[in-house]
Structure 1
Amino acid sequence: MKNKSVRKILIVDDHPVFCLGMSELINKAADLEVCGSEDTPAKALRAIQRLNPDLVIVDISLKNSSGIDLVSDINNRFQGLPVLMLSMYDESLYAERALLAGARGYLMKQEAIGVVVEAIRQVLSGKIYASEGVKDKVFQRLVSPHGSTDTTPFDQLTSRELEVFRLIGEGLSTREIAERMKLSIKTIGTYRERIKEKLNLKHYTELVKAAVHYLEMAQK
């Protein structure tokens, strides 16, 4: 039986089987308890108000939204509530962006089962959970936002542009991306043109190839 000092954890992920497995794992810890799980940002924000969790675990890829956008919303609306971000993508591509958005930790799903309890406890104690390399990069970006030379062309993309780029790589059409992100087709088209310009891509075919390659690199 758990005592009154148990810390409540809310999981935001649109994969039910993963949520169930993660919940069972966390609930085995005497000092932690999953108080709920949601699959969209809107439901997550309502659940935070209702359940008052001590920490929120957010998947980077959610229905109709980017998890990074949700992290920003949580950071703005519930100041002081720590967020641990989960992702299937390599930390070198997303961790820095997630931490700068306000997340207190970044954990890849492939290793989550083994270290999620440790990561939760570390974040709850006020520390940041990420590799030393990622933490160093974030620190350097904060103290010298325009002086870093360790960047990639993808760093030029905003979170929304990166989300559109990722969905193109998954094979979604402009209409499907618009429906997924609840934006107009015209807006998605504007994002596409901005991405092409920032990545120096001339044609849509080049954009698709680059997006597919990006996803392959991210999932290695």
Structure 2
Amino acid sequence: MNPSMPAWRVLIVDDHPIVRTGLAALIDAEADMTVCGQAEDFDGALAAMAELRPDVALVDLSLRGASGLELVKEAGRHGIPTIVVSMHEAPTWAQRSLAAGARGYVQKSEAGRTVVNAIRRVRARRIYLGDAMAQALLERRHGHHHDEAGVHVEALSDREIEVLTRIGNGLTTQQIAAELAISVKTVQTFRERIKRKLDLGSAAELSSMATRWVLERAD
């Protein structure tokens, strides 16, 4: 670190207080970065970005009110770089995060020092990906990842994939609505769109396919 450079100001956006506290402790222990604020949802994050003007924002994908990917896009419009810190380990999420404008992707399962390294990489105007995720994306790009279901899922929107993931994790329509802060009717609409795009004929087929898709990416 160049001692003449000011500490980078970091905004943490996550709906779990314990996650925010843990990340803040890691960041504030470093001399070249400091936490300037925290937010738990999409609207709070937008307000914090406007008021605090952080140098970088750590963004969870699963936010109440809107997709974390939408926040990544909005932050980019205001010139604020973002690093996605997510529980999702499937390459699909890293790929979509980078496409939305994120400068890095960190899995929560390997956070710790990884977050600190990612922030420094982004400060140096580079993109951060963990070795395993970078390899997975490289294999996908070169066609070494043969996954017919994954190919079809690529046709879904970011929000539809969020709903599909929760269906695969066994959540009910009501639970999905509560987690995403949307109406039950909206979730039902997403379910119908997913069935149509994936050529599934029933709710049972949707549930089976979603469960299989989630389990395959947990291997």
Deviations 1:162-219 (A, max 9, x none): 1111222233332343344344433322221221122222210121122223333334
Percent identity of equivalent pairs = 38
Per the TM alignment, residue 127 of structure 1 is displaced from its structure 2 partner at its CA by 0.7
| 1:218 paired residue number | 217
How far apart in 1 are the matches of 2:167 and 2:99?
A: 24
Amino acid of the structure 1 residue aligned with 2:185? K
- Once the 2 structures are TM-superposed, how far is the Cα of residue 115 of structure 1 from its aligned partner? 1.4
Structure 1 equivalent of residue 18 of structure 2: 17
Paired letter, 1:74: A
Match of 2:189 in 1: 190
Aligned mates of 1:12, 1:60 — CA distance in 2: 9
Q: Is 1:123 aligned to residue 130 of structure 2?
A: no
Query: In structure 2, how many angstroms separate the alpha carbons of the residues matched to 1:137 and 1:157?
Result: 21
Question: What 5-or-longer segments of structure 1 have no aligned partner?
Answer: 141-148
Task: Work out whether residues 96 and 138 of structure 1, in 8 Å CA contact, stay in contact via their aligned partners in 2.
Answer: no
2:159 partner SS: helix
Tell me, which stretches of 5 or more residues in structure 2 are unaligned?
Answer: none
**What CA distance in whole angstroms lies between the structure 1 residues aligned with 2:154 and 2:207?**
18
The SS at the match of 1:56 is: strand
Distance 1:64 1:170 in 2: 20
Amino acid at match of 1:30: A
2:73–2:101 Cα contact (<8 Å) kept: yes
Q: TM-score, normalised by structure 1?
A: 0.84
Q: Secondary structure at the match of 1:65?
A: coil
- Give the secondary-structure state (helix, strand or coil) at the position aligned to 1:84: strand
Q: Is the 8 A contact 2:61 2:68 kept in 1?
A: yes
- The two structures, once aligned, show a CA RMSD in angstroms of 2.5
Instruction: Answer yes or no: is 1:205 the counterpart of 2:214.
Output: no
Aligned equivalents of 1:200, 1:158: Cα separation in 2: 15
Change in 2 beyond 3 A, CA 1:169/1:91: closer
CA contact (8 A) 1:57 1:83 kept: yes
Report what 1:47 is aligned to: 48
After TM superposition, the score normalised by the length of structure 2 is 0.84
Determine helix, strand or coil for the equivalent of 1:61: coil
State the partner residue of 2:180. Answer: 181
Native 8 Å contact 2:57 2:83 kept in 1:
yes
